[in-house]
Structure 1
Amino acid sequence: MGSHATLPYLRETIIFLVAAGVMVPLFHRFRVSPVLGYLVVGGVIGPFGLGLLADDFPILSEVVISDIAGVQALAELGIVFLLFTIGLELSLERLWAMRRLVFGLGSLQVLVTSAIIGLIAFEFGNSVQASIVLGACLALSSTAIVMQLLLEGRRIGTPLGRSSFAILLMQDLAVVPILFVVGVLGTKVDSGFGWDLALALGKAALTIVVIYLGGRLILRPALRLVAQTRSPEMFMAAVLLTVIGIAAITGYAGLSMALGAFLAGLLLAETEYSHEIEVDLEPFKGLMLGLFFMSVGMGIDWRVIGDEPMWIPLSVLGLFLVKSVITAGLCLAFGLPRHTSLEAGLLLGQGGEFAFIVVGLAMSLSLLPADVGQFMLIVAGLTMLVTPLVAKAAEILAGRMERRETTRTHQGSLEAVGDMEGHVILAGFGRFGRTLANTLQAESIAYIALDTDPGHVARARAEKLPVFYGDASRLDLLNRAHIGRCAAVVVTMDNPAAAERIVGEIRRTWPLIAVYARARDKAHAVRMMNAGATQAVPESIEGSLQLAGRVLSGLGATEEVVRRRLEHQRSIEEL
C-alpha cells in the first residue's frame, strides 16, 4: 500500500484527471472553450491560486499542484502530439502548395514583429540585448492554443486556418536562430559569430533532410512489418516511438520537438496507416494538451498583477494590439480578405509558450533583469489566458465585416445576372449543392447558388458557374437572386442550424415558394418541415437505402424487387 502512496506524481495525476473529467465538462456545458477551461482550472489549483491559501487552510494542499516544473515537462508532450496530428492531416504536396504563405507571410511576420516589439522595448529603457530578446520571443504566438482553437472550430482548412498555420510553422522554424542569437548575446561575441550561426542553421537543415529521407525509406516497411503481427499494442508502441523519437532528434539538433513531431506526422501521412493512427492518438493528444494548458494557468502569479495593476493590463493590451495590426496588415498584403486578415491578427496576438523558454534562458545569462523577465512572463501568460475570449470576439467581428463585404462585393454581380424567372436558388454549394447543380444544368434548368465558403465560391467562379458569395438567410441577397420569380429554393448546406434559419426566413417572407431541404437525419428533417420546408430529405436514410439496394442486388434480388422494397422501406422511415 505504501508503494502506491509514494508513486511519483500520483496526487497530481488524480487532480488533473478530476479537472479533465469533471471541471472542464462543466465549462463545456456553458459553451466555454475547453482551452479556457483548462487555463482557468490550472490557475485555481496552482501555487498562485488555492496554493496561496494552503498555509491558512492546510486541507487545500491536497488539491493544489505546486511542482509546476515537473508538470510542464510532461505537458510539453501535448504540443508534440498536437503538431503530430496536424502533420497527419496534411501531405507534403499540400505543404509545398503553402510555401508562399509559410516562407513569405510567416517570415515577414516574425521579422517585422520582432523588430517593432524590440524597438518598443528599447524605448522603455531596456538594453539593446534585452530588447532583441524580448522582440524575438514575443513575436512568436502559441501554437498549442491557436491550433486547438482552430481544430475545435473545424477551421484548419479555411483561409484563416491555412494562413495561421503557415505563420505558426515558420515561427517553429525560427526557434533555432532565435535560441542561437540569445546564447551569443549572453557571451562575448567574436569574429566567428556568422560562421557559428551558419553552422547551427546548416545542422538544423541537415537534420530535417535526414529525417525526411530516412523516414521515406524506413517508416512504411517498418510499420507494415509491425502491422503483420496483428498486435494493436505493438503497433501503437511503434507509432509512439516514431513520434517521440523524431521529436527528440530535432530537440537534440536545436530545433523544437514540436517541429520534429510535425515532420513525423507528414511522413506517416504518406502511409496507409494514417487514419488509424490519428483515431488512436486523439484522446491521448487531448489529455496531454489539457495538461499543457493547465500548466500555463498554474504559472500565472496573480500577486504580480496586484503589484502592477496598471502596467500589466496595458502591456497585455499593447502586445495584442501591436501583433494583431502587424499580422493583419501582412495578411492583407498577401491577398487575404479583410475579415480573414483581422481575425488572423487577433488570433495570433498572444505570446507563446516559447517565450517562457527564451526569457528563462535570457535571465540565466543575465541578459534580462529578473523583474523584467517575470513581468514579461506574466504578460505572455495572461495573453494566452484571454486568447479563447479574444478569438470568439474576433470571429464575431470578422463575421460582421464579412457580411458587409458580401453586400458591397456581390450586389453588382447578382444584379448583373439580369432578369430570371423559373430558376432554382441553391443555398449552399458544397458537395450536395454541386451535384444538384450538375443535375439541373444537364436538364437545362437555370440556377443561382449562394455560399458562405470562399473556397467553394472561388472554385465555382473559376468554372464560370453562377455561384455567389453570400448568406442565403439575408433577404436583400435573395431579392437580388430574384427569389420572387424562382421555381424553387433548395437548401443544401452542411450547418443544420443555419439551414433551419434559412428555411424559416424564406417561408415567413415568401410563403408560396417551394423550399426543398437536405436534412442530416430524421429528427432534423422534422425540424426542417416545422420551419416551413416543402420537403426535407434525410441524407442518412437515403444513403442507407441506397446501400441496402446495392446489397440486395448483390445477393441476387431483381431490380423490381429492390425498387419495391426500397419504396416500402422509405415510406416506413418517413412516418
Structure 2
Amino acid sequence: MAAEGNAGELVQVVALLGAGVIAAPLFKRIGLGSVLGYLAAGLAIGPFGLKLVSDPQAILHIAELGVVMFLFIIGLEMQPSRLWNMRKDIFGLGALQVLGCIAALMAVGLTFGQSAPVAFVAGTGFVLTSTAIVMQMLQERNHLHTPKGQHIVAILLFEDLAIVPLLAIVTLLAPQGETVTVVERLQSLGIGFAALAALVIAGRYLLNPFFRLLAQSGAREVMTAAALLVVLGSALLMDFAGLSMAMGAFLAGVLLSESSFRHQLEADIEPFRGILLGLFFLGVGMAVDLAVIFANWQHVLVAVVAYMIVKGVVIYGVARLLKAPHAESLGRAILMAQGGEFAFVLYAAAASVGILDADTNAVLTATIVISMAVTPLVVAIYVRVAPKPTVDTSGLAEPENIENTVLIIGFGRFGQIVSQPLLARGYTLSMIDKDAEFVRDAGDFGFKVYYGDGSRPEILHAAGAATAKAILICIDDREAAVKIAEIVKEEYPLVPVLARAYDRGHAIDLLKAGVDYQIRETYESALDFSGEVMQVLGEEEELVASVVEEFREIDRERFAMEQVGGIYAGRSLIKGNAQPADIISARTARERERKAAEQAAVKEAAT
C-alpha cells in the first residue's frame, strides 16, 4: 500500500514536470508567453481537467515560495540608493494608482449590490496586481530595467507594502472587529515594526560576516543552503509578524544588494526560483474551479470584465495625469489590469473573520484566477495589433542639400570616435542618425547631428552623399549596414564607402555589398589588448609588435580565402592542421631563440 501511495505521488510530480516542460516552451514559441502556458497546463492536469493532481491548494501553498524567491532576486537588483531614487514613484505614483483603483473598484461592487465591507474587500483584492505575472513578463520582454518598467516596479512595490495596512483594515471591518482592543492593535503594529527592524539590523550587520565565514569553508552546498536559509527565514519572520512573506524576502534582497556575495546568492537561488515560480502558475491553473465558474458564470464573467476595464481605465488615467506618454500608459493599463496572488491572502483573511461567505469567496477567487490567466493572452494580442510607436521628431533638423567632405551614417560610440580626428583636421562632416532621442542628446553636447534613416536614398541625397568624398557606415545594425552599403554603391558607385563590421561574417557580407573598407568593431582593440597582456607577462615590446603583426598577416590571408568561399590553406609555414596560434607560437619560439643567441654572443664577446 505504501508503494502504491508513493507511486501515486510520483505520478503527480511527473505530471507537473511534464506539463510545465511541454506547455511553457510551446506557448512562448507561439508568442503567448510562458505564464499562460503554465496556467493552461495546470488547468489541463488539475482536478477539473485530467485529474492527474488532486490537491492543487497544497501545491499552490508550496509554490508560493517561488514568488518569495522571485522577489528576493528582484531585491538583489534594487540597491538602497536606487530605491531612494524611486521613492517618488513608489509613494507618489504607486499610492495614487492604488487609492484610485480602490475607490473605483469599490464603486463597482456597490453598483452590483454588495455591502460596503464586501465591496471594499472584493475591489481591494483586485487592486493588488500579480507581481509574479507582471515581473515575469517584463523580464521576458527585457523591459524590467527600462524607465517604463521601473515605473511598474515602483507601483508593485507599493502594492506589496499596502498588503500590511489592508489586512489590518480587514480585521477592523470584521463583524467581531469591535472586540479587538486598542492595546491588541498596537501590539500587532509593534510586532510588525520590530520584525522589520530585526531584519534590517540582521541584514546590515550580520549577513555579510555570516556569508564570509561560510565562504571560507569552501563548501558550495553550504552556501546554497545558507542562501535558502536567508530567503525563507526572512519570509518566515515577516509571516510570524503578520506581514507579507514576499515583502520580507524582497527586503532581505535589498539589504544584500550591495554585498560582495550578491552574485553568488543570485546564482544559488535562481534554479529554485524558476522551478517554484513555474509551479506557482501551474497551481493557479489547477485552482480554477470550473464547477463554481459554470454555476456562477454570469457573475464571474461580469466581475472579470468590469473589474479589468475599470482598473485599466484608472491606471491609464493616473499615468496620463502624471505625464506618461499614451503608448506607455496604455501598455501599463493592459499589463496591470488583472488581480494578483495577494488577493488570495486578503480574501482568505476576510473569509476567516466573516466578511465573505464561502460562495462569494469562491466567485472572487475565480475572478482573480481568470483575470490572471487572460492577461498574457490580452498582452500578446495588444503587442500584435498595437500600432508601432511613432518617433517624435519635433524640433529635430533633417538633412537638406548638404555639401560635405565626409558623410557619417550612425553617430553612436563608434561614429563619435571616428569623427574626432576628422574634425581636428578640419574636414566638413555631415552626420545622420535615426534615433531621435540620441539626436537630441547629441545636440545638447554641441554636435550637429541630423535626424534621418540612412537606408532611404532620398535621405542619403539630402545628407550630401552625392558630393561626399567618403561615406562612413558606423551603425551597429548588421542587416541595415549591408542594405545601406548596397544602396550607396548603386546610387553613388564612385564614392568610397567605409563600414563598421560586427564580426567576420558581417565583414564578408559588407565586402560583397561593395564597401571599399571594413573593420570589425572589436578587432583592433582586442589585438591591442592582447599585446598589452604579453608585455605584462614580460615579453619584449619588439617581439610583441612582431607577433601581433604576424597575426594580422595570417588573418588577412584567411579572410581573403573565406571571401571567395575557399578554405584557408595558408603559407608554407602551415603544416597539417596547424592553426594561426601554432604559427605564432613557432614564431615566438624562433624569436626567443634568436634573442638568446644574440645575448650569448654578446656575453662571449665581452669575455
Instruction: Indicate how the Cα distance of structure 1 residues 209 and 384 shifts in structure 2: closer, same or farther if over 3 A, else same.
Output: same
Q: Deviations over 1:203-240 (max 9, x none)?
A: 44443333223211111111111111111111111111
Contact 1:24-1:37 at 8 Å conserved across structures: yes
Matched, 1:550 2:535: no
The answer to whether the 8 A contact 1:176-1:204 is kept is no
From 112, 116, 123, give the equivalent of 1:135. Answer: 123
Which residue number in structure 2 is paired with residue 570 of structure 1? 555
Equivalent residue number for residue 59 of structure 1: none
Q: Does 1:488 align with 2:476?
A: no
The Cα shift of 1:31 comes to 4.0
How many matched pairs?
Answer: 547
Distance 1:527 1:39, change over 3 A: farther
Distance (Å, rounded) in 1 between the aligned partners of 2:214 and 2:344: 39
CA contact (8 A) 1:133 1:358 kept: yes
- 2:366 maps to which of 361, 373, 378: 378
Cα distance in structure 2, aligned partners of 1:476 and 1:120: 55
Instruction: Select 1:561's aligned residue among 524, 531, 546.
Output: 546
Work out whether residues 227 and 265 of structure 2, in 8 Å CA contact, stay in contact via their aligned partners in 1: yes
- Contact 1:340 / 1:398 at 8 angstroms: preserved in 2? no
Deviation at 1:568, TM superposition (A): 2.8
Rate the CA distance shift 1:476–1:361 in 2: closer, same or farther, 3 A: farther
Q: Distance in 2 between matches of 1:472 and 1:210?
A: 59
Distance 1:158 1:4 in 2: 52
Which position in structure 2 is the counterpart of 1:450? 434
Q: Summarize the Cα distance change of 1:144–1:506 in structure 2 as closer, same or farther, 3 Å threshold.
A: farther
Aligned match of 1:69: 57
The answer on whether the counterparts of 1:36 and 1:388 sit within 8 Å (CA) in structure 2 is yes
Offset at 1:273? 1.7
> What is the Cα deviation at residue 465 of structure 1?
4.8
The alignment partner of 1:269 has SS state of coil
**Maintained 8 Å contact 2:498/2:516:** yes
Q: How does 1:111-150 map to 2 (within 5 A)?
A: 111-150=99-138
Moved more, 456-465 or 33-42: 456-465
Q: 250, 262, 269: which one pairs with 1:281? A: 269
Say whether residues 1:82 and 2:70 are aligned partners. Answer: yes
1:425-451 deviation digits (Å, cap 9, x = unpaired): 554x7xxx2253144235324534333
Q: Larger deviation: 17-26 or 248-257?
A: 17-26
User: Structure 2: which amino acid aligns with 1:275?
Assistant: H
How far did residue 319 of structure 1 move? 2.5
1:292-322 C-alpha deviation (Å, 9 max, x unpaired):
1111111113344444555544433333322
Deviations 1:21-75 (A, max 9, x none): 3343333443441112111111111111223xxxxxxxxxxxx111111101111
Q: Deviations over 1:433-492 (max 9, x none)?
A: 22531442353245343337x6x6776565455568888768898788677777535354
Q: 2:422 corresponds to which letter in structure 1?
A: E
Q: Distance in 1 between matches of 2:133 and 2:207?
A: 30
Q: Give the alignment's TM-score, normalised by structure 2.
A: 0.80
Structure 2 equivalent of residue 413 of structure 1: 396
Q: Secondary structure at the match of 1:108?
A: helix
Tell me the SS of whatever aligns to 1:326: helix
**Distance in structure 2 (CA, Å) of the matches to 1:318 and 1:34:** 26
CA distance in 2, matches of 1:103, 1:38: 33
User: Equivalent of 2:356, from 368, 391, 413?
Assistant: 368
TM-score by length of 1: 0.84
1:135-165 per-position Cα deviation (integer Å, ceiling 9, x unaligned):
2111110000110111111111112210110
CA 1:542–1:80 in structure 2 vs 1: closer, same or farther (change >3 Å)?
farther
236-245 vs 525-534, which moves further = 525-534
CA 396–516 in structure 1, closer or farther in 2 if over 3 Å, else same: farther
2:474 and 2:127 mapped to 1: Cα distance? 44
Structure 2: distance between partners of 1:73 and 1:183: 23
The answer to whether the 8 A contact 1:440-1:447 is kept is no
Aligned positions of 1:183-222 closer than 5 A: 183-190=171-178, 200-201=188-189, 203-222=191-210
Say if 2:20 and 2:37, in contact at 8 Å, map to a contact too: no
**Partner in structure 2 of residue 97 of structure 1:** 85
Equivalence for 1:25: 25
Aligned-partner SS, 1:81: helix
Q: 1:68 to 1:191 in 2, by over 3 A?
A: closer
| CA-CA distance at 1:76 after TM superposition | 0.6
**Distance in 2 (alpha carbons) for counterparts of 1:361 and 1:471:** 58
Given candidates 140, 156, 159, the residue that maps to 1:171 is: 159
**Contact 2:227–2:268 (Cα < 8 Å) also in 1:** no
Q: Distance in 2 between matches of 1:468 and 1:317?
A: 47
Percentage identity across aligned positions?
35
Asked if 1:440 is matched to 2:419, the reply is yes
Residue 390 (structure 1) aligned to one of 358, 378, 382: 378
Supply the AA of the counterpart residue of 2:70.
Answer: L
| Residue of structure 1 equivalent to 2:328 | 340
Classify 1:439/1:505 alpha carbon distance in 2 versus 1 (closer, same or farther; 3 Å): closer
Cα distance in 1 for partners of 2:460, 2:291 equals 56
Shift of 1:553: 3.4
Map 1:11-50 onto structure 2 (within 5 A).
11-50=11-50
Secondary structure in structure 2 of the residue aligned to 1:516:
strand
Between stretches 474-483 and 260-269, larger displacement belongs to 474-483
The CA distance in 1 between the partners of 2:183 and 2:378, in whole Å, is: 42
Query: After the TM superposition, which of the residue ranges 280-289 and 364-373 deviates more from structure 2?
Result: 364-373
Shift of 1:279: 2.6
Separation in 2, partners of 1:133, 1:482: 66
Shift of 1:180: 1.1
Tell me by how many angstroms 1:126 deviates. 0.2
Could you tell me which amino acid in structure 1 is paired with residue 433 of structure 2?
A
What's the counterpart of residue 240 of structure 2?
252
Structure 2: distance between partners of 1:193 and 1:49: 47
8 A Cα contact 1:119 1:131, kept in partner? yes
SS in 1 for 2:473: strand
Letter of the 1:316 counterpart: V
Alpha-carbon contact 1:216-1:267 (below 8 Å) kept: yes
Supply the distance in 1 between the matched residues of 2:206 and 2:443 (Cα, whole angstroms): 43
Contact kept, 8 Å, 1:186 with 1:365, in 2: the verdict is yes
Larger mean Cα displacement after TM superposition, 544-553 or 208-217? 544-553
Q: Is the 8 A contact 1:451 1:467 kept in 2?
A: no
Distance in 2, Cα, partners of 1:509 & 1:316: 55
- The alpha-carbon distance between structure 1 residues 552 and 284, as it changes in their structure 2 partners (threshold 3 A), is same
State whether structure 2 residue 483 is matched by structure 1 residue 500. no
Unaligned runs of 5+ in 1: 52-63
Tell me, in whole angstroms, the C-alpha distance in 2 between the residues paired with 1:525 and 1:197. Answer: 71
- Range 267-276 or range 466-475, more displaced: 466-475
Structure-1 separation of matches of 2:133 and 2:170 = 25
Q: 2:219 aligns with which of 200, 208, 231?
A: 231
2:345 corresponds to: 357
Query: Is the partner of 1:122 in helix, strand or coil?
Result: helix
- For residue 337 of structure 2, give the secondary structure of its aligned residue in structure 1: coil
> Residues 463 and 117 from structure 1, CA distance in 2 versus in 1: closer, same or farther, beyond 3 angstroms?
farther
Q: What is the alpha-carbon distance in structure 2 between the residues aligned to residue 194 and residue 293 of structure 1?
A: 40
